[in-house]
């Protein structure tokens, strides 16, 4: 069934892997963790245990590079029985700083889409992660001029979005969310009665995956690239 967007007044965008590249850097860092800790475990086991450590630490550290690196260091201590060298810890810290200082690589068509939609709609960013890091990336991206509001959420669940929409006085039926994660950007909004457009990224963090049954339903559309969205607003 075709989704109707005629009542939309405000459009929200996820940031990481919707506006710019992000998850690719985490995959590379995970490979580096496997290399640095290879004397203690196999790369596959290290990858599995790092994911478990990240999930365990989410309530404490939240999302983002800093929590990821702290989890990596904690895993190194665990796997090595607290014998991991200072040099390895220093390398892990360097990986984190390198991730934070990466140049912003906008995804194809991002600025053209924002420029076109901002003429007729209020645009907001609704993302999650480390506040300082997300503010830094938005500033470096050159995209701030297109957005009326920036919100960095601790989680992206129905309750978080409901509070955001209430705070901004936006009716769910007048709101459209665009993002790469079905779990975080799409399904919670559909359940609230808003519209959503899914723009998949080529790699997805394991924590953001959903089952086929969860993904089935109406109220959202999937496109292959961000520029396709403009076809719905001609």
pLDDT, tens only, 164-204: 999 999 999 999 999 999 988 999 999 999 999 999 986 66
CATH class for domain 10-20+104-233? Answer: alpha beta
pLDDT recorded at residue 3 = 74
What token pair was written down for 15?
A: 């940031």
Confidence of residue 155 (pLDDT cuts 50, 70, 90): confident
Q: Residue range 83-105: average pLDDT? A: 96
Alpha helices in the chain (DSSP H): 23-36, 43-61, 65-79, 86-100, 110-117, 131-141, 158-167, 187-192, 212-215
Does the domain at 23-100 match CATH 2.130.10.10? Answer given as no
pLDDT recorded at residue 129 = 86
Cβ contacts of 161 within 8 Å, gap of 6 or more: 126, 177, 188, 189, 192, 194
Do residues 221 and 185 lie in contact, with contact meaning Cβ atoms separated by under 8 Å? no
Name the 3-class secondary structure at 179.
strand
Q: Residue range 7-35: average pLDDT? A: 94
Confidence of residue 220 (pLDDT cuts 50, 70, 90): confident
Choice among 38-52, 68-82, 212-226 with the minimum mean pLDDT: 212-226
Residue listed under structure tokens 């991730």: 99
Best CA proximity match to 149, nearest among 120, 170, 179 = 170
Predicted confidence (pLDDT) at residue 214 exceeds the cutoff of 90: no
Confidence of residue 233 (pLDDT cuts 50, 70, 90): confident
pLDDT digits (tens, 9 = 90+) for 117-132: 999 999 999 999 888 8
Indicate the domain borders of the chain. Answer: 10-20+104-233, 23-100
Confidence of residue 4 (pLDDT cuts 50, 70, 90): confident
Q: What global pTM score does this model have? A: 0.89
Q: What percent of the chain has pLDDT over 90?
A: 79
Predicted confidence (pLDDT) at residue 207 exceeds the cutoff of 60: no
pLDDT recorded at residue 211 = 62
What token pair was written down for 183?
A: 């779990």
Confidence of residue 2 (pLDDT cuts 50, 70, 90): low
Confidence of residue 213 (pLDDT cuts 50, 70, 90): low
Q: What φ, ψ does residue 156 adopt, rounded to 5°?
A: -120, 75
């Amino acid at each position: 069934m075709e989704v109707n967007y005629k009542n939309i007044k405000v459009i929200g965008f996820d940031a990481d892997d919707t506006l710019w590249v992000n998850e690719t850097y985490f995959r590379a860092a995970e490979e580096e963790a496997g290399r640095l800790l290879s004397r203690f475990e196999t790369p596959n086991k290290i990858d599995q245990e790092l994911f478990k450590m990240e999930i365990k630490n989410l309530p404490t550290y939240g999302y983002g590079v800093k929590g990821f690196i702290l989890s990596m260091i904690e895993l190194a201590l665990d796997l090595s029985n607290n014998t991991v060298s200072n040099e390895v810890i220093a390398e892990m810290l360097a990986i984190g700083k390198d991730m934070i200082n990466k140049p912003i690589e906008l995804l194809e068509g991002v600025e053209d889409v924002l420029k076109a939609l901002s003429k007729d709609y209020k645009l907001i960013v609704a993302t999650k992660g480390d506040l300082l890091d997300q503010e830094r990336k938005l500033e470096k991206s050159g995209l701030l001029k297109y957005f009326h509001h920036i919100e960095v959420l601790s989680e992206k669940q129905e309750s978080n979005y409901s509070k955001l929409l209430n705070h901004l006085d936006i009716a769910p039926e007048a709101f459209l969310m665009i993002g790469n994660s079905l779990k975080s950007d799409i399904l919670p909004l559909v359940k609230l009665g808003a519209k959503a457009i899914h723009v998949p990224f080529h790699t997805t963090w394991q924590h953001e995956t959903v089952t086929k049954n969860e993904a089935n339903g109406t109220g959202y559309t999937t496109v292959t690239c961000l520029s396709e969205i403009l076809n719905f607003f001609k």
